[in-house]
Amino acid sequence: MQRKSALTRRRTAPPEIAAALVRWQKQHGRHGLPWQNTRDPYRIWLSEIMLQQTQVAAVIPYYERFLKRFPDLATLAAADEDDVLTLWSGLGYYSRARNLHRAARLVASEHAGIFPNDFDAVLALPGIGRSTAAAICVFAHGARHAILDGNVKRVFARCFGVAGYPGDAAVADELWGYADALVPHKNVEAYTQGLMDLGAGVCTRTKPRCDACPLTAQCVALKQNAVAQYPSPRPRKVLPQRRTRMLVMLHAGQVLLEKRPGSGIWGGLWSLPELAESDSIDAVCATRFGVTASAKKALPEVAHGFTHFHLDIEPLRIAVKKIDTRAAAPGVMWLSLADALGAALPAPVRRILAALD
């Protein structure tokens, strides 16, 4: 069946959907989240970035700790990246933290430290896409903009019977058409929050609570008895499997950590040094880090999943007999295990260190 044009969708999208969502949100939605009941764009922006691909329950403690350390945009802009990444450690998707920090510095230098209220200016900041910019402008300024995060895509796909995988451009375009058409002229904050609440707690991916949904009268998927079929899942593909070896070099109760490059996997985090399968452990220890290794022991492997591949890590515990007196190489530091666990570490590295006896 040929897809309707965006213009047709704007003419035919039922206006009662927005009204039903507003009524439902006021009675059944979430009202006590730490980033609600404020117009502070800094707090709203921080929450929206943390909530990208992360559930509310996981975000709340990170959000509260982050605000305690960086209570405003100026403090964040003046911070060292290591401090930002340390507060983010464990939340994942670390490019979000680096972009947050970059954006704070851009606001400080190009917007006189005042978070912009113009949609295009917000969208131009690092790490902010169309839906995130819309949410910030809605909640901070009451502006009329459409959101379309992953949960909302699912709500619209079911409500309007939009077939296909939402990651495909044509499907996403159709969903954006509905998103743009439905934004009300008043109560836009309650409507937007209602969409978020509905997707997070009622119109869930599995076991949706259709009996509690305010949109049952309009839901195409429900009428077709096909809720589980919308939206179509991501096309399955076999993810490649990769392996790496990591050196757990220990000396006098301290462990050696190496700072990773700013871009790429775990960019800017502190990690255990990696070496290729063909590398000599003794040579790497001596030439890269100026240490003489003695006893070596293989530790249990650690598996970690990324979006595009799986990684198996083989940790090798190295007892260091001697450290050269030469100046420490840049990007390398020795820390006690307690201090190392408090650093900005990738999650699997934290697991390796936490398991040391």
- Tell me the catalytic residues: 48
Alpha-carbon distance values, 110 to 41, 124, 153, 261, 328 (Å): 16, 12, 34, 27, 37
Q: Helix crossing, 150-160 with 169-182: angle to 10°? A: 80
Burial of 117 (0-12, 13-18, 19+ CB in 10 A): middle
Q: What is the DSSP string of 87-134?
A: HHTTS--THHHHHHHHHHHHHHHHSTT----SHHHHHTSTT--HHHHH
97: which residues sit within 8 A by CB, 6+ positions away? 84, 85, 87, 88, 91
SS3 335: strand
Angstrom distance (rounded) from CA 270 to CA 266: 8
Which candidate, 258, 344, 356, places its Cα nearest to that of 300? 356
